[in-house]
Every structure is written in structure tokens, then in C-alpha cells.
Amino acid sequence: MVREQLAARGIVDHRVLAAMATVARHLFVPAAQQPFAYEDRPLAIGAEQTISQPYMVALMTEVLGLAGGERVLEVGTGSGYQAAVLAELGAQVYTIERLAELGIPAERRLSEFGYWDRVHVRCGDGENGWPEAAPFDAIVVTAAARRIPRALLQQLGVGGRLVLPLGEAEVQGLAKIQRGGDGWQEEYFGECRFVKLVGADGWDDG
């Protein structure tokens, strides 16, 4: 997976590649999906949600530009796979899942796999972020938004990066918004397709 799907498609950060090689993706999907865990495609994880394809996880992680030691907020825990990858990069991860039927098992799974002291899980509305843990060095949103959630921008520290799929319901652009001392910089990294963010900045119907 790492050699043929990630490195071959342009992922160059060796720390990201090492983290992706370390985290066993098949342990983060239902048993019926485990034979397909290392294929480069999304997989259903229940509750009409998916685990992103490995390349997209690697790309979003690389775009975050983590060096180790950062405080990272993840909106959309899902099965916990992305959070585990971020933790392997040395981040303290705060991850929010709207659906308790996914968030509670993800918290248990991450604890069992040894991330209990590096990943903090909350069930709730991710659009509101995690104010008491802010400011964050990086924020990653794993669901498609129509517009950038203002609360998340407010929780970024200076120099912080927000990475999210931004655009329409069917197709989005992978955006990075970076906070400078006197404004914001926006950059795009190609098209992507994610499940919809629920809420004022996403879609009220999911």
C-alpha cells in the first residue's frame, strides 16, 4: 500500500509514509471489509459513513505539515484511523465524532491499540471545535463543508493550518487555510469526494 499507492502517487514525507506503514488499517474497518482494507478506496464503516482511501488520508496528513509535538483537532473521528496516523506522527490529537455509534467504539479501539494518552475522543458537534483545548496547531476535517466553519478558524493558533474538503455535495477541493500574523492564505490540492458535514457549514440532512 505505502509503496504502490502512496509513494508512487507523490506522497514524499517519509514520516507520513512511516506512520501509514505502522497503523494497521484492517483493524479500523468491520470484519466484512478487512479483505479490502489495503485497497486504495473508501470503505463503509457503518452509520452510512466511510473510512477514507489510504491516499487521501496520507495526502491530508502531508498537507498538515506536522513535525511532531503539535496539538491537532480532527473533526470526524469515524473509526479512528486518521487519529491513529496523526498520533504516530507525534501529535496530541483531539477528535470529535457526531455519531456516538462510531465515536464510542473508536475511543475504545484507540485505547486498546495504545493511543489512550495521545488521542482524546469526544462525541458532539465538530463544527464547534473543542474550545477548551484550543489553540490548535492544525485542524483536519474529514467531511465535506460548503464553507469554512468560523469556530474552527478561531481555534487555530498563528501559523496553524486547517485542511478540509470544501465545495459542493458531490465533489470538493481539498483546501488548506493557514493563519498568518496578519491574515489567511488559502491553497488547494486537487479534487476529492467526502461524506457531507452535518450542520450550518455543511448540510443539515447529512
Q: What is the SS3 assignment for 69?
A: coil
Question: What totals of helices (H) and strands (E) does the chain contain, helices first?
Answer: 5, 9
**Cell numbers describing residue 107:** 475511543
Residue 136 β-bridge partners: 156
Which residues pair with residue 75 across a beta bridge? 96, 141
Q: How many CB atoms neighbour CB 180 within 10 A? A: 10
3-class secondary-structure state, position 106? helix
- Using alpha carbons only, give the angle 107, 113, 114 rounded to the nearest 5 degrees: 95
Out of 5, 50, 52, 61, the active site residue is 52
Active site residue 52: yes
Q: How many CB atoms lie within 10 A of CB 202?
A: 21
Exposure letters 162-171 (e unless 16+ CB within 10 A, then b): bbbbbbeeee
Catalytic residues: 52
